[in-house]
Structure 1
Amino acid sequence: MQACRAALSVLPVGSVFSHVTAAQLHGLPLSYAMEEDCRLHVTRPITSNRVRLPSVIGHRALHARRVVEIGGLPVVDLADTWVDLGELVGRGKLVGLDDLVVLGDACATRLGSRVPLIQACLLRNRPRGKRTLLEAYEEIRVGSASPRESLARLVLTRGGLPEPQLNEPIFASWDPGLLLGVGDLVWRVPTEDGGLLKVVGEYQGELFHSGDEQRRHDGIRGSGMACDGWDVQEMWNADLNSSQSRVSTLQRFAAALRVPSDCLRPQDVTPRFFSSHAIDQAIQREMQRSARS
């Protein structure tokens, strides 16, 4: 924020902080590539000259952005920032499909709805990265509390499991006023015999959940849920950071939810940087090159 304050004194009137800089100022979860971008992103109306200053990336906007104030700085608002980041999608660029889902989850959760994101996108005339933004939008959900929760959900749902409720309060069946805990990913699945499968997926971040005191707290909470018929399945970083571990995690949750193995799509649990459209275009180009050779 100090760099933004210093830059604001020399920026032309009407400049607003945007793109990665706006995401940083909003406190949105950024990928490593975005965190490493130390440049300041600044947007002005398309009728204005592009900002040309050292360590500043100047953008010109055809369509007006909503602007909010953060610490006295003019910043593009959450929904328009999400759409702006679509401009940074592509080979060799900073932002990928899963990044837009994670960022979209964070924005939608703060806004209480994902609708403002699609509205901001559709208000623009062919924004750059639109195909990737629209594909990401289909997987954005309200309620995710962290980037790793979002990525864990993508692994499981892309792999063929039903959509969970996110950060859902779980009350005791014998006392609706007794809160047993809040589940990161919560499934309540009716069974053929009229019963109910109750499964909770808990993402345990190494930084917060590996200490002895927090592990005791997690154990007590998990035991309370288990006593009420909940199957508590933990996930750690190691369960998501390799192809084999992601498939194993998918199979473990599928068994808990009684999803048949032939309904699973283990080939789809790999993290995705490129949109389906970009992948299709790359395949077509490769086929054309092969045909010419």
Structure 2
Amino acid sequence: MFHVKHGPALTLGHMSLRLSTVILPHRRWNEGGRETWQRAEQLGFHTGYTYDHLSWRTFRDGPWFGAVPTLTGAAGVTDRLRLGTLVTSPNFRHPVTLAKELITLDDISGGRVTLGIGAGGTGFDATALGQDPWTPRERADRLAEFVPLLDRLLSEDSVSYEGDFYSAHEARNIPGCVQRPRLPFAVAATGPRGLKLAARHGQAWVTTGDPKLYENGTPEQSRQALRGQVDKLTDACAALGRDVNTLDKILLTGFTPDRDHPLESLDAFVDFAGRHRELGFTELVIHWPIPDSVFAADQKVFEQIAMEAPAQLS
């Protein structure tokens, strides 16, 4: 049994839908960074996530800060907001050192941390340590070893392990996580191997939709693809004897064909949220607006959605 602190949820019919935000780590802490996290809590978001990258796409040549230190700072200036990564990957992480950082963050935050974790991609992180980029199969191979080892490191006092990619020798993690038996994993996956990891080790599953539909797909095609992903997750859980309803299902918005539409107005968001609740999603994550970027949006509309959507979705 996992003991996790939860914030308020949006109730739609018989299901709850939580609303969270992702705050990119691109602002200096004393130049708006701190205030953004505090405002996220004031607005009532369930979780404030951040990207765990060394740099990211169009933000590569601008300010960008580390995820774990940012979340540690956020933990110190908030009380209720859950905190998490979307997502951490093996591209530049090792399970032994990551576990120690996560246990510390979970302690400082009073048990408010969720680890979003996935296989990573071919972006700047993939070669930042001087390695050649891994193929999709190689990334999946590493994730399949990374997640179970991290699970053990966060759950056991001492771990020794010798694998194909990662090793641990009497790695100590005392006193462990505040959340028991460990902090929750939100596993990002769409392929069969990743979905199996989500079914076995995850307390939540994360998707951004079908990337093949990003440029030329339609909202209906996107929802159909998401429905198919949920069905595959259901099958992966059934194969392990697990009820799929014991996993939260998280949609990180902004990467589907209707990526701009939900934040255009309160009504547009309520419609978007309702349609995705019907697919089985229990949490929607919207990007904190960043002017002159792919995440540009009207801040006032964004805050209106945060404050008024729950009432309209109840």
Question: Shared topology, TM-score over 0.5?
Answer: no
The higher relative CO (CA closer than 8 Å, separation ≥ 6) is in: 2
Q: State the TM-score, normalized to the length of structure 2.
A: 0.28
Q: State the TM-score, normalized to the length of structure 1.
A: 0.29
Higher alpha-carbon Rg: 1
